[in-house]
Chains A and B, each alone.
Chain A
Amino acid sequence: MRRFAVEKARKLLAPHTDIFISASQHPISSSQIFLHLLSSAAFFLRFLNTKATPYPSDSMASTPLTLDTINPKVLECEYAVRGEIVILAQRLQEELKNNPNAHPFDEILYCNIGNPQSLGQQPITFFREVLALCDHPALLDKAETRGLFSADSIERASEILHQIPGRATGAYSHSQGIRGLRDKIAAGIEARDGYPADPNDIFLTDGASPAVHTMMQLLIRSKNDGILCPIPQYPLYSASIALHGGTLVPYYLNEATGWGLEIAELKNQLEMAKSKGISVRALVVINPGNPTGQVLAENNQKQIVDFCKDEGLVLLADEVYQENIYVPDKQFHSFKKVARSMGYGEKDISLVSFQSVSKGYYGECGKRGGYMEVTGFSPEIREQIYKLASVNLCSNISGQILASLVMNPPKVGDESYESYLAEKDAILSSLARRAKQLEDAFNSLKGVTCNRAEGAMYLFPCIDLPKKAIEAAKAVSTAPDAFYARRLLNATGIVVVPGSGFRQVPGTWHFRCTILPQEDKIPAIVSRLTKFHKGFMDEFCD
């Protein structure tokens, strides 16, 4: 028996007769090796070496996991939102805990990350009622529950649980998410856009980020595949592209015109990439923008749709801030709505829309809820997307339920509607006020200009750093905006993310600051920041 097994193993590991000659000179990498576990075509792994990346001396002995042998793509990728400055901030925070007088400030103010509830924003009561009932369905069998929960939250929870066999919120669901919840989300999308949405197009995910990774995984075959990304961009995109071994093709937003997205720039960057041998596969648009906060005008969106259609690009529409609009002259239009309004259907444009429960007025970051709506792809691709989703089985159920609540909140006449509306309006109007206050504060600083935050949760002021400051930064091998951000942190406890974390026009410097600290903290932030900035400029001005 053992000899039989050993013979089998030997045969299975022997090279197949088909030889695949790659471009590489390395003899071993020219062979195609099949590790064939028989009985099924399904269990079949192929060693395909298209572009041999030389590793450090692969003598056949193995190497432990160290910085020298870690996947180089891991080393390459970066994510400044939780990078160096934040690590420093956490250290300072620890020091303050042990000695409240350790620094010239009482507390660290994290303005680096769009994490509203960590800074005092309260969750929407109705949503939490429904989630609590779904987390502990036994509550619905008790009479006392009616005394603690609103009637419509009980009703909604019952409705949701009815769609889950056995009320089993602890079971893995369908890999795209519970069907009844997708129905609700599709209905919500249709109500928002005026165009139908298909629940089969929806993939519920642990936040929007995993959905972005899935798309990058499908699109990127090698370094020759490029993804057009806005500069400045939310660094999930650059990190994901690096992790999947692709190339980021930048297109610059125009700061002078309120971070305008110009088609001429898109075309130009596309052509340049093509001339370098890059096959550009997709266009990422973040609307409302992060870190830039601009809300695209509908005409602009139409141009973008046409551009993608003409060039055969997949449009990746990051729309997680769709409910964060602070200016009366702009409105959110989903790219799907725009495309459909132009008469474009499934055959015309491949479009993926990302939404999340982390932003808006609900700010439920810790729940990891979100979805992508996938339209305009062939059935074969749809199958592949499903397959990838199935390897992880499903996204967390509580997050799925929350996504359905966000896309289908209380309506006029519901018992909780009034209080829901009051909570929502209070949060959104406060966000709008804070956006304006901070924008004005930044603009009042010498050498700083700040575009208004039309939407999203951030301000991205531009600092005209004096030459002396830039030199001082160079002397300590730090990017000038990181140098400024570090000084700001050490002097005031305010944590921002240097613009270089998002990329920017070379030679310009920015930082991203959220509008999320509670309103009562804003005056202190403004005064501390103003004082620091004056001191900094005095120190480094020529």
Chain B
Amino acid sequence: MSSKSLDYENLNENVKKCQYAVRGELYLRASELQKEGKKIIFTNVGNPHALGQKPLTFPRQVVALCQAPFLMDDPNVGTLFHADAIARAKHYLSMTSGGLGAYSDSRGLPGIRKEVAEFIERRDGYPSDPELIFLTDGASKGVMQILNSIIRGAHDGILVPVPQYPLYSATISLLGGSLVPYYLEETANWGLDIGNLRQSVTQARSQGITVRAMVIINPGNPTGQCLSEANLKEVLKFCYENNLVLLGDEVYQQNIYQDERPFISARKVLMDMGPPISKEVQLVSFHTVSKGYWGECGQRGGYFEMTNISPQTVEEIYKVASISLSPNVPGQIFMGLMVSPPKPGDISYERYVRESKGILESLRRRARIMTDGFNCCRNVVCNFTEGAMYSFPQIRLPLKVMEAAKRAGKVADVFYCLKLLEATGISTVPGSGFGQKEGVFHLRTTILPAEEDMPAIMASFKKFNDEFMEQYEDNGGYSRM
């Protein structure tokens, strides 16, 4: 028998380096326990429908009709579908040549890209070009495509916030680039400090890294902070001064739970700043149907919008997109519906508003319940979830825990999260999966469990945490901060 051609030893090193904790060790253990019959509350990933959030009715009606257009030939179709859903289905079908089953333009259906451009214009007050908008199978694919265009090799660095959503670290590893971390300030509500940015860039450059791009996640994941307009201006100036492409991950733009800092898009701020900056800074903005109040993760619908990227470069990005032929058409239609939802006067409008408001208001309440629940544990400090879908409490762990973790061959927060899982069924992601300062531990949970289950979940957490601390407490000092 010959030796195997693909074995761990001869596997692409970049694949080995790549890590994605969101579906890593904790999740796998949780799945095992679930199979053994334990009740698991999966709060490891921003997956609203999996935790009971209902899909909005209108888009589901429209897409079902697009799947089976022959339904619209049936005289009784009105008994099941509203007239405006039927009209909208016809509208989207007319954009296609051949319905949902045909590959579309590799950038997505022109008609839907136009709707996205119109949405962006309404949101920001500046025109947007549909030719610079590419629909993708989820925002993640778009991020991978753009990073793949930027990263030439290990010398190329990408500035990434710490803590960050590990799609960025995983993709940079896979592409053989370098991650240049800039730390968010936990004590300043996870604020972005330009001093930290400058420091990171200087350090990277002194190591021979060419810093090519900067990622901002606004609202943040896992941290939830919403960037202020002033902050965004500073960031854009910084990118201008350092010739960086700004990658604006704005997938949570509809998840805002405070009123002091509403969402402002990076593009709006850029345009507001006027020339020369508005004409020079290269920006790619990402959005999705997976988050907001839609939560349609399983559809894999997303887009990226390019600003100040030259036509020839856009061509090359288009070329790579064409190798995968086209993004899935139903997902594209979800995107169209999200950016142009029912309007006042439409038959489905009232219900749409009722469903949407219900979800958003509940998320706001849950953000508060969770933050407060964590803060009432004495060794836990939790910044308020200003936006996005997560809570990222800091857990202060005594030395004895560190030692026990070491003995178990685990990082301290992994150790804690595994214990939490086994005791309560709550499946979280350890902070180490997102990056954090040395000696400081966190975990990420979502705010997505049903509102009525929240009090019990937080009580269950507190009970576990207090018992755990009793078990391991000593006077020998705690983890930092």
Contacts and interface: CB of A to CB of B under 8 A. Distances in A.
Nearest to A53: B153
Interface string A45-65: 111110001010010111111
A282 B141 contact: no
A29 B162 contact: no
Interface residues of A, number: 134
Nearest to A119: B98
Given A35-B178, A367-B328, A42 B19 contact: yes
Contacts of B178: 33, 35, 45, 47
B247 to A, nearest CB: 11
A135 B12 contact: no
Contacts of A395: 137, 300
A422 interface: no
Interface in A157-171: 165-166, 168-171
Interface in A343-393: 347-348, 350, 358, 363-368, 376-378, 380-381, 384, 387-388, 390-393
B432 interface: yes
Given A10-B199, A39-B413, A82 B330 contact: no
A399 B45 contact: no
B15 A384 contact: yes
A312 B196 CA distance: 50
A147 B171 CA distance: 49
B101 interface: yes
B210 A82 contact: no
B330 A396 contact: yes
Contacts of A384: 8, 11, 15-16
Contacts of B57: 138
Interface string A304-345: 000001111110000000000000000000000000000000
Contacts of A396: 137, 298-300, 328, 330-331
Q: Which of B71, B80, B153, B209 has the most CB of A within 10 A?
A: B153
A299 interface: no
A38 B431 CA distance: 11
Nearest to B330: A398
A37 B24 CA distance: 18
A83 B323 CA distance: 10
A365 B101 contact: yes
Contact of A37 (B173, B181, B199, B298): B181
A323 to B, nearest CB: 15
Interface in B61-98: 61, 63-65, 67-68, 70-71, 74, 76-77, 79-80, 96-98
Contacts of B103: 113, 115, 118, 358, 365-366
A200 interface: no
A78 B164 CA distance: 34
A65 B6 contact: no
A28 B208 contact: yes
Contacts of A128: 67-68, 70
Contacts of B4: 312, 350, 376-378
Given A10-B203, A172-B45, A399-B328, A132 B64 contact: yes
Given A70-B313, A172-B47, A135 B63 contact: yes
Contacts of A380: 7-8
Contacts of A347: 1
A281 B6 contact: yes
Contact of A39 (B152, B244, B317, B431): B431
Interface stretch (A212-220, A468-476, A526-534): A212-220
B326 A366 contact: yes
Contacts of B20: 387, 390-391
Given A9-B200, A218-B11, A171 B49 contact: yes
Interface stretch (A202-210, A429-437, A439-447, A504-512): A202-210
Interface string A118-160: 1111010100110111011011001011011000000000000
Given A66-B313, A77-B320, A391-B170, A221 B99 contact: no
B182 to A, nearest CB: 8
Interface string B160-181: 0010001101111110001111
Contacts of A312: 2-5
A141 B400 CA distance: 55
B449 to A, nearest CB: 13
A377 B100 contact: no
B477 to A, nearest CB: 16
Nearest to A239: B323
A394 interface: yes
B432 A42 contact: yes
B346 interface: no
Given A38-B439, A62-B242, A314-B5, A48 B13 contact: yes
Given A42-B19, A240-B323, A61 B243 contact: yes
Given A40-B411, A138-B57, A172-B297, A6 B99 contact: no
Interface string B241-269: 01111000000000000000000000000
A95 to B, nearest CB: 16
Given A47-B154, A170-B299, A391-B18, A136 B13 contact: no
B432 A43 contact: yes
Given A43-B432, A53-B152, A309-B2, A9 B298 contact: no
A264 interface: no
Given A61-B243, A69-B152, A368-B327, A310 B2 contact: yes
A311 B2 contact: yes
Contacts of A166: 49-50, 52
B6 A219 contact: yes
A528 B431 CA distance: 66
Contacts of A376: 4
Interface string A169-202: 1111101000000000000000000000000000
Interface of B: 1-8, 10-25, 45, 47-50, 52, 55, 57, 60-61, 63-65, 67-68, 70-71, 74, 76-77, 79-80, 96-104, 106, 137-138, 140-141, 148-155, 162, 166-167, 169-174, 178-181, 183, 185, 187, 193, 195-196, 199-200, 203-213, 242-245, 282, 290, 295-300, 309-310, 312-313, 316-317, 319-320, 322-331, 411-414, 430-441
21 contacts: A6-B196, A39-B439, A58-B210, A63-B243, A64-B282, A67-B312, A70-B316, A75-B316, A115-B102, A123-B101, A129-B68, A168-B55, A171-B47, A172-B47, A219-B5, A309-B1, A350-B6, A364-B101, A393-B297, A395-B300, A396-B331
Given A43-B435, A49-B153, A387-B18, 17 more contacts: A2-B185, A12-B438, A35-B181, A38-B437, A40-B430, A44-B17, A69-B152, A71-B151, A117-B101, A118-B103, A120-B98, A132-B64, A136-B60, A171-B48, A217-B14, A282-B5, A309-B1
Closest 7 CB pairs of A and B: A40-B432, A28-B208, A366-B329, A118-B102, A390-B23, A397-B298, A136-B64
